[in-house]
Amino acid sequence: CSSFQQPLVRSSPAWPPPAAPPIRTEDYVSQRPLGGGAEGVSAEKLFSLSGLFAVYKPKGPTSAAVLNLLKERLLAEAGVQTKDNKRKRQALKIGHGGTLDSAATGVLGNEKYKYSHRTSMEDASKYTAIGLLGRATDTLDATGKVTEEKPYDQVTKKDLENVLQKFTGDIMQVPPLYSALKKDGERLSTLMKRGEAVEAKPARPVRVYSLSLQQFQPPLFTLDVECGGGFYVRSLVSDIGKELSTCASIQELTRTKHGPFTLEEHALHEDRWTIDEIARSLEHCMSLFPGEQSHKKFKTELPGETAVSCEDK
């Protein structure tokens, strides 16, 4: 494989802080302060909120780690203590509506709901992906071990544009081995990291609404992808490399839209993770959903068990 220049990666501080211990949802118990103090008002407001919102996931942490930190910030602001084995718990559980790889960045949609209600967030997602020709890895991205290198000098911009047409519409796709898909109750990625033999899952139907080449500077190329649920952009880039008689892997991946949430307008960055900001975002974002959800009013109630949860894809 010919030499190439590595893409520029935006530097950012270590995230989350190395000293931060793992956060367990079940450790959190709401001890609402008596009286009308500021903490009591904040707790009432936090546990009365309901709806959908989005946050920004930086490069590095898992989707679950991002939401664990969000939960920690909100509960601390509300004056919630961390105690075990209390009977009348008001647990604040946080989840997401679609996992982003640790190495990926972008918008992460979430639901803050009461009791067992969930809202579907299976609308199309949009991604910007930077692919690298001539190098394959076991994870199909820059975090994995190099498994193959091939020449790519023969690939032209026109070749790449023609290949993209084969991956548009309703297609069949084999999911990557390093994924959240499960075998016998365990994630394939966990089995792979333990060195166990894992067979690839069979190809499954997925949908690509649009796929376009934005930039071509060999060995790098940039794609804009709009796809349905269950789609793996890592697999797409790998398959494109094979179609071009070379190999390819992802260098950078950003989700720019998740359902109705866009990166620019709706994704809250860490400095805006406060109860008031979440409340404003909930009110704004719920207007994006048609029907009953868009007309829900946020009411202050005596909270039972309140949760934020998700459907992993």
Cβ atoms of 197 and 183 within 8 Å: the answer is no
152-203 pLDDT, tens digit each: 999 999 999 999 999 999 999 998 876 666 566 666 666 556 666 767 667 8
Residue 224 bears catalytic tag: no
Lowest-confidence region among 82-91, 108-117, 217-226, 294-303: 294-303
> Helices in 153-274 by DSSP H: which ranges?
157-164, 188-193, 233-243
- Closest by CA to 70, choosing from 102, 25, 120, is 25
Average pLDDT estimate for 94-121: 71
Question: Is 240 a residue whose pLDDT tops 50?
Answer: yes
Tell me the residue ranges of DSSP E strands in the chain.
Answer: 51-57, 92-93, 105-114, 125-133, 135-137, 146-149, 169-173, 182-183, 186-187, 204-217, 220-227, 248-258, 261-262, 267-268, 306-309
Dihedral sign for Cα atoms in the order 102, 108, 112, 113? negative
Split at pLDDT 50, 70, 90, the class of 279 is very high
Q: What are phi and psi of 220, to 5 degrees?
A: -95, 145
**Letter for the amino acid at 198?**
V
What is the pTM for the complete model shown?
A: 0.75
Identify the three-state secondary structure at position 79.
coil
Split at pLDDT 50, 70, 90, the class of 219 is very high
5-32 pLDDT, tens digit each: 444 444 444 454 444 333 333 333 333 4
- Closest by CA to 94, choosing from 80, 79, 108, is 108
Split at pLDDT 50, 70, 90, the class of 244 is very high
As a whole number of angstroms, the distance between CA 302 and CA 44 comes to 8
Question: Is 223 a residue whose pLDDT tops 60?
Answer: yes
Domain architecture of the chain: domains with CATH: 25-122+261-309 (no CATH), 125-258 (3.30.2350.10)
Beta bridge partners of 110: 53
Q: Which of 27, 101, 123, 153 is catalytic?
A: 101
Q: What percentage of the chain carries pLDDT values higher than 90?
A: 42
Average pLDDT estimate for 62-72: 86
> In the prediction, which pLDDT does 306 show?
30
- Highest mean predicted confidence (pLDDT) among 26-40, 78-92, 288-302: 78-92
